[in-house]
């Protein structure tokens, strides 16, 4: 990867020199991003911060919370905000705004992307309205899942506040009811209910406290599974595609958001953290955490270096107040990170440049 980044850098430098020689009076050197001098992260996963990467005119493109971001197959970055004037902002990797649109959702929270044939679709959740929407990349709604109480999955009094979706290898839709009744609900491609699993319990390992996220883990192509976040339990939980509980990965100190799969690694925003000697959930203590293929934490950009003693991961804490509440992480083709934040003063996404 380092060699690839070096090649791209040299190619860009060479192209710039050619342009200057051919058009010396017209060529304008592209502005370099304003990066911090400080290196964030650990081991092979280190970054330099560009906090102004996603900044736009807040009067034209307002955001409340930048909840989640995904990348399409063209490399465009789709960012979801819960401002009803402005649910989707579409960036290129340089931070240029390419397009925006809205579904007028006041609580837009979860954003996933999946390909059907040659076409990509977005899946958007609004927990406040209890809606799960499938749309085109231009914002046309093509399907909406029915409320679980309408299809016999929940009784009428059960809370339903969906936070996230994941799409299985066969197109099945998995919905995390992270702010509601703590189930993962499974539907087929047409939106027909199949089953639910999980539920609300702090002590039972196959149940959740704040099932905030769900993702398809296909690192083993012969045995794809679901990786789900149990935020209040500081853990990721693994399930089979039919809802059988398999295992748990404990991340002490980290109130995690959804798992984001990329290659052999799992990335997640830590939305809340802890303090030494005080193990309650604390505001403004966010950072990013990165796990390897063996489920070991290898880097915490914005957080303290992960430490293992006798094979046990020790308490993870914020290192410096760079982030407030990291709600999601997105990666581009060069493994740079884009960090979306909740309750962080209406900030746009930050970019972490891989070094």
In eight-state DSSP terms, residue 113 is: E
- How far CA 14 is from CA of 10, 72, 256, 324, in Å, comes to 6, 28, 42, 39
> Which residues, 6 or more positions from 285, have their beta carbon under 8 angstroms from its beta carbon?
270, 272, 273, 274, 275, 317, 318
> What pLDDT, on the 0 to 100 scale, is given for residue 32?
73
State the CB neighbour count (10 A cutoff) for residue 124: 26
165: left (phi over 0), alpha (psi -120 to 50) or beta: beta
Report pLDDT digits (tens) over 268-284. 999 999 999 898 999 99
- How far CA 165 is from CA of 172, 317, 344, in Å, comes to 10, 28, 24
State the CB neighbour count (10 A cutoff) for residue 354: 18
Q: What is the overall mean pLDDT for the chain?
A: 93
Over 70: is that where the pLDDT of 289 sits? yes
Over 80: is that where the pLDDT of 5 sits? no
Q: How far apart are CA 301 and CA 309, in angstroms?
A: 21
**CATH code for the part of the protein at 36-354:** 2.120.10.30
Over 50: is that where the pLDDT of 160 sits? yes
- Under the banding of pLDDT at 50, 70 and 90, the label for residue 158 is very high
Report pLDDT digits (tens) over 34-49. 899 999 999 999 999 9
Report pLDDT digits (tens) over 105-123. 999 999 999 999 999 999 9
């Amino acid at each position: 990867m380092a060699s690839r980044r070096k090649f791209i850098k040299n190619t860009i430098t060479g192209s710039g020199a050619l342009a200057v020689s051919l058009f010396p009076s017209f060529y304008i050197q592209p502005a370099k991003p304003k990066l911090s001098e400080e290196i964030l992260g650990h081991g092979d996963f280190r970054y330099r911060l560009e906090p102004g990467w996603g900044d736009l005119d807040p009067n034209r493109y307002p955001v409340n919370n930048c909840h989640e971001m995904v990348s399409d197959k063209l490399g465009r970055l789709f960012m979801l905000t819960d401002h009803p004037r402005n649910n989707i902002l579409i960036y290129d990797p340089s931070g240029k705004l390419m397009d925006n649109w809205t579904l007028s959702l006041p609580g837009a929270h979860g954003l996933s992307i999946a390909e059907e044939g040659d076409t990509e679709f977005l899946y958007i959740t609004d927990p406040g309205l209890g809606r799960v929407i499938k749309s085109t990349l231009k914002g046309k709604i093509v399907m909406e899942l029915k409320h679980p109480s309408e299809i016999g999955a929940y009784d009428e009094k059960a809370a339903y506040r969906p936070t996230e979706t994941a799409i299985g290898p066969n197109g099945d839709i998995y919905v995390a009811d992270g702010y509601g009744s703590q189930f993962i609900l499974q539907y087929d491609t047409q939106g027909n209910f199949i089953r639910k699993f999980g539920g609300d319990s702090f002590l039972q390992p196959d149940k959740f406290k704040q099932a905030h996220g769900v993702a398809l883990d296909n690192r083993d192509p012969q045995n794809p599974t679901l990786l789900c976040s149990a935020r209040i339990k500081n853990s990721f939980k693994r399930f089979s595609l039919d809802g059988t509980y398999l295992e748990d990965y404990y991340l002490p100190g980290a109130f995690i958001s959804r798992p984001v799969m990329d290659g052999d690694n799992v990335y997640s925003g830590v939305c809340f953290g802890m303090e030494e000697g005080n193990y309650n959930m604390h505001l403004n203590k966010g950072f990013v955490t990165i796990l390897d293929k063996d489920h070991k934490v290898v880097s915490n950009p914005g957080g303290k270096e992960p430490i293992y003693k006798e094979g046990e991961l020790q308490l993870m804490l914020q290192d410096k107040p760079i982030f407030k509440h990291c709600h999601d992480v997105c990666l581009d083709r060069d493994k740079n990170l884009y960090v979306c934040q909740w309750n962080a003063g209406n900030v746009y996404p930050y970019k972490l440049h891989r070094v």
